[in-house]
Amino acid sequence: MSLANIDLNQYSIVRHRDTDKVYVYETAKYPPFKAAAEHQELGCYALDRNGQINLDTRFTFKKEQLFLQPIRWS
């Protein structure tokens, strides 16, 4: 799946605080990022440099390890 094709009502884009890698997580399965507790675990999918989302491999991070990545539309 491509980043260009995701529905931002179903996914949020987050960045890992330590590694600076970008991930997406499904807001349908988890609470919205701002509403989640700091220690809540969120299941995320990796996003590569080309904007492709790897749905085969899932990562779990606590909210405190992530921050919401702002999206800028041009």
pLDDT tens per residue, range 33-64: 888 899 999 999 988 878 888 888 899 999 99
Confidence band (pLDDT; 50, 70, 90) for 29?
confident
Confidence band (pLDDT; 50, 70, 90) for 1?
low
Q: What pLDDT sits at residue 50?
A: 83
Is 74 exposed, middle or buried, given 0-12, 13-18 or 19+ CB atoms closer than 10 A?
Answer: exposed
Domain ranges of the chain: 3-68
Model confidence, pTM: 0.80
Q: What pLDDT sits at residue 72?
A: 64
